[in-house]
Structure 1
Amino acid sequence: MIQHKFKIKDGVLLETKEVIIKDRTKLFKYNPNLKMLAEDIRRSRNDEHLKNYLLKAQELFAEDIEKTKAVKSPALGNHSIFYYMYGHMNDWVNYAEKELIQEKAMLTQAYRLEETIQILKLSRSYKEAVEKLMETLGLDEIGARYVADQRLSVITGIIPDVQKECIEEHEKRLSNVKELATYDR
């Protein structure tokens, strides 16, 4: 949420923006920034625990950070994504696990596409579709809901080999986030 504040200084109306991030899971969508991470490490001299956490973040995500362009996102302010992750690692682990479950569910349904389409077409309600997907495809509730929420064009467009690569990336991210969680307070 972006909150606009106004004040008058020396007869001039000034507008400032204050960014309040309520759903931190959305930060996964931002590109990490090595320059900001290095700056956060430099600023954290007084807090040795935060400094160790940030150093570990830099080590774990160095490859990802090197690939991205240095962008200044107004939502992240003057800090790296890892600064905002600190103190909320349990949420990040849960989010990464949920993403992995959803990707695996999409791979499962891709292998059994005809059954999935029949279930979605013949189900009378969303709840019934989710239950049938869980029963027939052996998905858990998170994965079944994710598959049921997708448009037919998305479901039929899944390429198993590409999906496997995507799952590998999510597994790597999950392992990195879990390791980073051990450095969180």
Structure 2
Amino acid sequence: MTMTSPTTGLRPTRMPRQKGWYIPWIFVGLFLVVAAVNGVMIHFAVSTWTGLETENHFLKGIQYNRDLEGARAQAERGWQVQADFTSTEPRKGLISLTLRDKAGALLEGAKVTAKLIRPTSVGHDVTLELPYLGEGRYAAPVTVALEGQWDLRVEITHPTGDYQNQKRVWVQ
């Protein structure tokens, strides 16, 4: 069935599209692509953030020169500190340290603190006081919540000076 105009008897014809009619739709499509990519990036930024941040970062920055001076003094003392972590069972291990002074003599009477810090998430860190076992050796067993990489931070306080160091360990 064909519709015709009652006055002329002719069928209405469609006007041809103008050149470039699609250009506004290209802009709309590009804006939609940008909005979709931004939405994906926002989703991954929010869903993968572990909440890990440096507390008191401004104060730590101010104390930087004092920390450098402490590192120089620690290097001058020349202590020989051997810190080890040995996995004994899944998520369990033994932290042990052997302390010697610059001349190789055993260091006794130190207060040794070991911290296992999970570098990728908050709330799993473990802090231990390591008891003196004799012959310059300090050790204690430890149990952690997760397997994987941990930072072992050792802090030693002794009447002749202080010491601190950090190393990455693997907990099975």
The interval holding the TM-score normalised by the smaller chain is under 0.3
Decide which structure has the larger Cα Rg and report it: 2
TM-score normalised by L of structure 2: 0.23
Q: Greater relative contact order (Cα 8 A, min sep 6): structure 1 or 2?
A: 1
Decide which structure has greater strand share.
Answer: 2
Decide which structure has greater helix share.
Answer: 1
